[in-house]
Amino acid sequence: MVARRVCAFVMPDGRMCRAGPQRDRPYCFAHEPERAAEAAEARRLGGLRRRKEGTLAVAYDLFGLDSAEGIRRLLEIVVTDGLSLENSIARLRALIATAVAATNLLKVGELEERAAALEAAHRPPERADADELGGGLLEGPDR
C-alpha cells in the first residue's frame, strides 16, 4: 500500500494538516505560503457563502432538500416567485417544471405511504408477544 501524501503544515496545536498536498508541492492549497492571500480570500468567500445560505434558509423558512417537506417548501417558493414575475415563456416553463416536480413529490409520498401500510400489514409479531410464548423461540445457536 502506498502511503498517502499529506500536507506538511503543522497546526498551532501540533497536529498535522490532513489534507492532500498539491501536486509537486509540500502544502495543500489552504497552507501554501505563496497562496496565503488567495486562500484567505477563498475562506472569506466560503464564510460569506455559508452566512448567506443560513440567512436565506431562515428568511424563506427553507429547511433543506433531504425531506419531502423541504422540497415542497422550495417548490412553493418557486411558484410564488414565478407567479409574481412578468409573464414570459421562461416563467411558464419554470411553473410547468415546478408542477412536474410537485407531481413527482406526490407520487413518492404516495408510494411511501403504501410501503408503510404494506410493512405494517406484514410485520412479524411484536417481541413482547414472543416473550409471552415462553421465550427461547428467538434464540439461535450463537446466543
Least distance (Å) from Zn ion to the CB of residue 26?
9
Window 21-80: residues binding Zn ion (CB under 5 A): 28, 31
Specify the residue for cell string 416473550.
131
User: Among the residues of the chain, which ranges form H helices?
Assistant: 36-59, 68-84, 89-121, 127-132
Least distance (Å) from Zn ion to the CB of residue 12?
13
Angle of the 68-84 helix axis to the 89-121 helix axis, nearest 10: 160
Q: Which is nearer to Zn ion, 19 or 77 (CB)?
A: 19
Q: Which of 17, 71, 95, 130 binds Zn ion (CB under 5 A)?
A: 17
Q: Which of 4, 12, 15, 19 binds Zn ion (CB under 5 A)?
A: 19
Q: How far apart are CA 19 and CA 142, in angstroms?
A: 43
Least distance (Å) from Zn ion to the CB of residue 38?
14
Contact 75, 102 (CB under 8 A): yes
Q: Which residues bind Zn ion (CB under 5 A)?
A: 7, 9, 17, 19, 28, 31
